Structure 1
Amino acid sequence: MNSLERMQLSLSGLSVGDALGQRFFGVGEQLNERIQQRQVPPRLWRYTDDTEMALSIVETLWRYGRIEPDVLAQSFAERYNPSRGYGAGAQRLLIKLQWGADWRVEASQMFGGSGSYGNGAAMRVAPLGAYFADNLAGVRENAMLSAQPTHAHPEGIAGAVAVAVAAALAFQVGEGECMQPVQFLELVAENVPESETRSGIKQAAAIYTTSPSVVARQLGSGYKISAQDTIPFALWCAAHHLQDYQEAFWATLSGLGDMDTNCAIVGGIVALSARQRGIPTDWIESREPFPDDFLRILTDESH
Structure 2
Amino acid sequence: MSVDATPIERARLALDGLSIGDAFGQCFFQEPALSDSWLAQRIVPPGPWPYTDDTQMSLSIVAVLADGGAIDQQRLAMRLAKHYEYDRAYGPSMHRVLERIGNGEPWREVAGSSFGGQGSHGNGAAMRAAPVGGYFSEDLDAVVAQARASAEVTHAHPEGIAGAVAVAVAAAWAWRCRSEGRRPEHASFLASILESLPPGEVRSKLIRAQSLSRVGSLDHAVALLGNGSEMSAQDTVPYALWCCGQSLDNYQDALWLAVQAGGDRDTLCAIVGGVVALFVGRDGIPPTWRERREALPDGFALTGG
- Provide Cα deviations, 1:124-148, integer angstroms capped at 9, x if missing partner: 1101100011110000000000001
Alpha-carbon distance in structure 2 between the residues aligned to 1:33 and 1:102: 47
Among 183, 196, 200, the alignment partner of 2:201 is 196
Deviation digits for residues 200-230 of structure 1 (CA, Å, limit 9, x no counterpart): 1111001133443431122110000000000
Q: 1:54: which partner in 2? A: 58
1:18 corresponds in structure 2 to 22
Task: Tell me what 2:223 maps to.
Answer: 217
Which of 156, 163, 166 is the aligned partner of 2:160?
156
Q: Which runs of 5+ in 1 are unaligned?
A: 299-303
Give me the CA root mean square deviation: 1.4
Indicate the residue corresponding to 2:294 in structure 1.
288
Partners of 2:66 and 2:302 within 8 A in 1:
no
Alignment gaps of 5+ in structure 2: none
- Identity in percent: 47
Shift of 1:277: 6.3
Deviates more, 1:164-173 or 1:35-44: 35-44
1:8 equivalenced with 2:12 (yes/no): yes
Inter-partner Cα distance in structure 2 for 1:266 and 1:251:
10
Q: Residues of 2 paired with 1:170 and 1:129: CA distance?
A: 9
1:193 maps to a residue whose letter is P
Q: Deviations over 1:224-281 (max 9, x none)?
A: 0000000000000011101000000101111111000000000000011123862111
**Aligned twin of 1:268:** 274
Q: Which runs of structure 1 show a deviation greater than 4 angstroms over 4 or more consecutive aligned residues?
A: none
Query: Does residue 1:205 correspond to 2:210, yes or no?
Result: yes
Partner of 2:135: 131
- Note the C-alpha offset of 1:30: 4.3
Provide the C-alpha distance between the structure 1 equivalents of 2:44 and 2:65, rounded to a whole number of angstroms: 33
Letter paired with 2:223: R
The 5-angstrom pairing of residues 59-74 of structure 1 reads: 59-74=63-78
Secondary structure of 1:227's counterpart equals: coil
1:81 and 2:81 equivalent? no
Aligned to 1:253: 259
Whether 1:142 aligns to 2:137 is no
- Mean alpha-carbon deviation: is it higher for 245-254 or for 201-210? 201-210
* Amino acid across the alignment from 2:246: H
Instruction: Give the Cα separation in 2 of the matches to 1:221 and 1:83.
Output: 23
One-letter amino acid matched to 2:288: D
TM-score w.r.t. length of structure 1: 0.95
- Against the structure 1 CA distance between its residues 276 and 146, is the aligned structure 2 distance closer, same or farther, given a 3 Å change threshold? closer
Deviation at 1:105, TM superposition (A): 0.6
2:84 and 2:220 mapped to 1: Cα distance? Answer: 36
What is the letter of the counterpart of residue 231 of structure 1?
A: V
**2:217 matches 1:243:** no
**Partner-residue secondary structure (3-state), 2:281:** helix
- The Cα of 1:190 is off from its aligned counterpart by 1.1
- CA–CA distance in structure 1, aligned partners of residues 301 and 71 of structure 2: 19
